[in-house]
Every structure is written in C-alpha cells, then in structure tokens.
Structure 1
C-alpha cells in the first residue's frame, strides 16, 4: 500500500496556500465590517487547512477553450502588486482541471468561461473547510445571473477588469463580496481576459453538495411591457 500524498509533499501547493492567506491578509475591506469578517474567516480556514497537512488528490488535468486566454491573463497579472501570487499559480498550472460545473452551459459560454478548483472537497488539496479556486473569463464574456445557496463568496480580481450587476468596475486587486443567495451577473472588458481567485465559505454540507445553476429572469406577464 502506498502512502497518501500530503500537502507537505508538494511545496508548490503549500506555497500557493500561504500566498492565498497573504492575499486575504493584505486585501482592504474598504471599511466594511462584513467584508473584514469574511476575510478573517477565509484566513482562519486556510490556516487550519495548512496545519492539518491534508491529503492531496490530483484529478486528470483537463482544459477548456477559454484556457487559450490563460497565458495572456497571467502575463497581465505579473504587472500587479500580487505578482508573487501569479507566480504561485504558474507553478501549478499544469496540474489544473478546468471545468464548467453546470449540466448545461448556455450557448457561447463554453468558449468564454471555465473554473479550476484548487482547494476543496474535490481537490487537489482535499478539505471540507473552504473552497478556493480560479475562474477565467474571455474578453467580452457575460456570465449569467446566478446565486449560491448558503455560500458566502468573494472574488479577488487578478487580471483584467469585470463589472458585477453593472454596478462599478473591478480592476486588478479589487475584491467582490457576495453574501449567500445574492444574485449576481458578471461582465468582462472587451480587450483582455479576466482571471479571478475565489473563496467559498459555508457549512460542510453546503460546500460538498453545492449545485451551480443559472437563474433565468421571470417572463413578463401577458400584456406587460
């Protein structure tokens, strides 16, 4: 019987977790107590994961059409203050399993979107404490409205620029905070891809059984305009 592979057996992944902790330590909360509490909770979860030296499981690496934009996104990210975190991503990028997460992806989105889980119930770093990952959008992508049941979510923009619900523009280094059940839609700038780092917090059950579903707008009643 072979020994289980642990986090300490994979220095590049251990560095990535430490850099994720620092990303949420240095990120401003903008005076928001809710965001500050979320950032602290993310750091505490990451710290627990590191201390537990979790088992690692490497699914078969997989790509999607949008991954053709990853090199550009990483190159742009190297110009930002979080460049050390970009280098940590580059060190493990060949191990990533890019996926959609939806049973049915809207037409056209399959070429403009994908995500890769880094830490969570499906690995590569196995834990039920938190989910951390990357999401990549092609230029001019519109990611339809959706919400997460019982999940508190934050994105850190690593490169590119996005808008959420047409309310403000989030440039590299910005944090987007979405409380549970918050309906949000993301649009991406025309000239560059956007690479975001995300953190999901919730109960063990919610993290393990989260279903990703796009929310359709209700049809207007007959006679309404």
Structure 2
C-alpha cells in the first residue's frame, strides 16, 4: 500500500523543518534572498498540503557518511538543532549519492548528498528539491554551476567558505543563481552538513546534468 507524507511522521517533521527555516530565517536585507525564500516557502507549503506519496528507496551509503555522527552532534549545539534531530530519525533510510557520472578520486571519500524531497524522493515532488550535502573536514568541492537551477545552502553544522569570499557559520544561507560558478571549501577540524533547496523547471530538476567546471587555479 502506498504511504503518503501524512502517514510518515518522521519525514513530515523533517520537511516541516525546511518550511520553518525558509519562513522564519533572516534574508539579511537581501531582496534576492527574500524572493528566493518566498518561492521555496510557497512551493514547499503546496507540496505539504498536497500530501505526496512516500517512495521506498534502497538506503545507500558513501564513505563520507562516517562523518555524519559528528555533524549531527555539532548540529544539536546550535539554533538549527531541530534539523539534526529530524534527520537523525530517518538516517537509516537515506540514499547517499554523488550525482556525477565521474567523481574525482580525491572527492570520493569526502562528499555525498541525499535528496529527501524531489523527483527521486523519498518524498515525491517535481516542483522543488530539498536535501542535505555532507562534506568531510578539509574538503575542496570543485568549481561548478547549475543550469536553470537556483540553489540555496544553509549550514546545519560546521563552517564553510564559497569562492574563498567569506566564512559561513551554522544558520547562514547563501544563494547561487543559475549558471553562477561556485566552489566550496571546509575547514580542517570538523565536517560540514548543509541543507539545500533547488528550484527550477521540472525537466531540469528531474535531470540536472551535474558537471564540474574546467579546472582553474584558485585565486
């Protein structure tokens, strides 16, 4: 029998953590971020109201998941502790993946993501993608961009830098416009767990075509 979101409290609570974040978090005075947050919030509210199906996906792990316990412990120490606790409830059902056909060998043990809401579920939607990215300490996630997809990251645990421009602490949100290239680095001591939201055309969300940019020297 097909289960719906309302039948699965742990998934519902996790999705509501995203909705709360994009409703109550700060835009820092940025009109672009305020607009993005509103779009995410409205799409997510519609998804929850529609009570989508929950699809079984075979759990899958990656080497970086060995750092998840530490990331969850760190997340429980800050204002987004609800995220860590809600994610912990479903951790055994998560499918961690790379998203690229070819992953640099240096990244195989340091990165993975899991989609919790989107075309690949388990909470199904073709309007928006929500998920988590986990980075090991001392990771460089190469320069890349997303065609037609607007992306936001929110730090749940750990600090990180994008394009070497600033350090983002837990609770920080950064917005990446479509086709804007970005590069992520993490510090040497702790892992970094980011919650993310993608919005864009349904056909692009189904098949994002993730690729890394041509290699460039960091400035």
* Structure 2 unmatched runs, 5+: none
d(CA) in 2 for partners of 1:83 and 1:136? 16
Name the structure 1 match of 2:165.
Answer: 167
d(CA) in 2 for partners of 1:69 and 1:29? 30
Name the structure 2 match of 1:144.
Answer: 142
After superposition, give the CA deviation of every residue in 1:134-189 in whole Å (9 maximum; x if it has no partner).
Answer: 00000000000000000000000001110000000001110011000010000001
Name the structure 2 match of 1:79.
Answer: 77
Normalised by the size of structure 2, how large is the TM-score?
0.97
The alpha-carbon deviation at position 26 of structure 1 amounts to 2.0
Name the structure 1 match of 2:9.
Answer: 11
The alpha-carbon deviation at position 218 of structure 1 amounts to 6.6
d(CA) in 1 for partners of 2:161 and 2:188? 12
**Superposition pairs for residues 1-225 of structure 1, below 5 Å?**
3-217=1-215
Structure 1 range deviating more: 187-196 or 23-32: 23-32
Runs of 4+ in 1 over 6 A off after TM superposition: none
The alpha-carbon deviation at position 191 of structure 1 amounts to 0.2
Partner SS state of residue 111, structure 1: coil
The alpha-carbon deviation at position 19 of structure 1 amounts to 1.3
After superposition, give the CA deviation of every residue in 1:178-215 in whole Å (9 maximum; x if it has no partner).
Answer: 00001000000110000000000001111111111000
d(CA) in 2 for partners of 1:25 and 1:87? 19
d(CA) in 1 for partners of 2:21 and 2:146? 23
d(CA) in 1 for partners of 2:105 and 2:25? 35
Return the index of the structure with the highest Cα Rg: 1
Normalised by the size of structure 1, how large is the TM-score?
0.94
After superposition, give the CA deviation of every residue in 1:5-30 in whole Å (9 maximum; x if it has no partner).
Answer: 11111011111111110011122111
d(CA) in 2 for partners of 1:203 and 1:7? 23
Aligned residue pair count = 217
d(CA) in 1 for partners of 2:58 and 2:25? 33
The two structures, once aligned, show a CA RMSD in angstroms of 1.1
